Structure 1
Amino acid sequence: MLTLYYVIFIFMFLIGSIVFVLNRKHLLSMLLSLEYMVLSLFCLLFIYLMIMNCQLFFSMMFLTFSVCEGALGLSILVSMIRTHGNDYFQSFSILQC
């Protein structure tokens, strides 16, 4: 029964990574797929820590770092939209930045 949960969350992570690789046009879709991957990793970590009877403090640290990652991604998105007008990666050149 527990291996089924492992397989489901690993499948969720793989689907998130495939979406991350295939959707490179918009920064917002890439950020959403990254958050999906982080959520699947958190669920996998939580189940693993529950099975091993460990303290769940590490899962709280993981959530803290994932929130920081999300805030950093949103700040990059906002600064990119303010400077370039949209979140397309093809609309700007790296040499101009």
Structure 2
Amino acid sequence: MSKFVFSGCVLGVILFLSGVAGLALQQKNLLSVLLYLEVCNVGGYIILLSAVSSMAINPCVLMTFICLAVCEASVGLGVVVMMARSHGNDYVGSVGILAL
């Protein structure tokens, strides 16, 4: 395993774990939750990029991952806009799961 692949994997794992830790600690605003999910997505992308550079997986997996991450972000922003219009804020605690 080359030095680039190893450092990419380590960076990806650090980003992913920091995103998970942020999700566990900060759940007040929906926008901050979405930002931590995006940090997890970037960490996963870096891990996949290092796997592609070591010829472990097909490069088409990267494009699929990016497309799914973009779709997730757009749906999340749509939910933030819907919550802001209907409830006046984006606090996660102000709305129950079944109320949506």
TM-score when normalising by structure 2? 0.86
1:57 aligns with 2:55: no
The residue aligned with 2:40 is 37
Structure 1 stretches lacking a partner, 5+ long: none
SS of equivalent residue, structure 2 residue 92: coil
Q: How does 1:13-32 map to 2 (within 5 A)?
A: 13-32=16-35
* Change over 3 Å in CA distance of 1:96–1:57 after alignment to 2: closer
In structure 1, C-alpha distance between the alignment counterparts of 2:80 and 2:35, rounded to whole Å: 12
Contact 2:34-2:76 within 8 A present in 1 as well: yes
Residue 95 and residue 43 in structure 1: after superposition, are their counterparts in 2 closer, same or farther (change >3 A)? closer
**Matching residue of 1:46:** 49
CA distance, structure 2, for counterparts of residue 29 and residue 63 of structure 1: 20
Tell me if the contact between 2:11 and 2:46 (Cα under 8 Å) persists in the aligned partners. no
Distance 1:88 1:74 in 2: 14
Query: Which residue number corresponds to residue 8 of structure 1?
Result: 11
Q: Which runs of 5+ in 2 are unaligned?
A: none
Q: TM-score, normalised by structure 1?
A: 0.88
1:87 lines up with 2:90 in the alignment: yes
Deviation string for 1:40-86 (max 9, x for gaps)? 10011011011026431110011001100001101111101110000
Aligned counterpart, 1:69:
72
